[in-house]
Structure 1
Amino acid sequence: MLQAPTFPIRTECPPGACVCQRDALLAEPGGDTRILRLTREEEKKLLAHIDGIASYAELNKLSERLRSQLGVVLQITPSHNEVKSARGLSIVLEDRPGLCRKTRQAVPSAIRRSLERHPDIIYAILDAHDLLGPN
């Protein structure tokens, strides 16, 4: 029997539309259900917050909050080839049970839009990965 957490959780996706394994996560005793706190309404707030990111420090803070509050790891890495825009960066939310397919696509897209508006963040990411440093 599924035991519902004491906080509001994301409603399940239509059958066949997602592979988030929400029910398996809920059935697992002692499973990490933090990701299920990201309801559709909360996801909209998160995407609005991401659209407002204007610095590398804010992006790092967002990444840390995703990890601590939802258990989701955000990875932003430059391509091995030349990076001319936000399209040259790999932005991925690590796959984990309970994380909806649409969320895994929406969050990186929102980050990419924010990076396109603030190219200085892209330079900071490149610098953090030592791509602009001495060879």
Structure 2
Amino acid sequence: MVEPVPFPIRKECPPGACTCNRDRVLHDPHGDIRILRLTQAEEKRLIARIETISSFADLKHIAELMQAQLGILLQIAPSLHEVRTVRGINIQLAERPGLCRKTRQSIPAAIRRCLEKNPDIAYAILNAHDLLGGGYL
């Protein structure tokens, strides 16, 4: 029997549709259940918030909050190959039990939409990895 959690948790994905291992997180007494706080309604709020990011500092702040509150590690780095568009920037969420497959796709997609609307953030990402030699237009 699983102990009740003190907050609403994400509903179970349909069988075979996801590999999130939600039950494994719930049944592990030492498991980190923070990720399960990201219900579908909260995920929609997070996606909407990501799409309104207006600066590189704001993007870093959101990534830090996702790590602290949900245990989600966001990794953003330029591709090893040439970066011509925002598609050349790798945006990934680290694999972890309880993180839904759809969430692993929707958060990076929202960040890409944000970068397309705000190219200055993409330039700041490149600059943070010293690909522009310390300055950009």
| Deviation digits for residues 50-101 of structure 1 (CA, Å, limit 9, x no counterpart) | 1101110110001100100000100001012221211000000111000000
Secondary structure of 2:91 counterpart: strand
Aligned length: 134
Is residue 5 from structure 1 mapped to residue 31 from structure 2 by the alignment? Answer: no
Alpha-carbon contact 1:4-1:26 (below 8 Å) kept: no
Give 2:110's aligned amino acid. Answer: A
Indicate the residue corresponding to 1:101 in structure 2.
Answer: 101
- What is the alpha-carbon root mean square deviation over aligned residues? 0.9
Indicate the residue corresponding to 1:44 in structure 2.
Answer: 44
Give the TM-score, by structure 1 length: 0.96
Indicate the residue corresponding to 1:14 in structure 2.
Answer: 14
Partners in 2 of 1:4 and 1:35 — Cα distance?
16
Indicate the residue corresponding to 2:120 in structure 1.
Answer: 120
Indicate the residue corresponding to 1:72 in structure 2.
Answer: 72
Indicate the residue corresponding to 1:28 in structure 2.
Answer: 28
Secondary structure of 2:116 counterpart: helix
Moved segments of 4+, more than 2 Å: none
Q: What is the Cα deviation at residue 3 of structure 1?
A: 1.9
Task: Structure 2: state its 5+ residue gaps.
Answer: none
Identity of matched residues, %: 60
Give the TM-score, by structure 2 length: 0.95
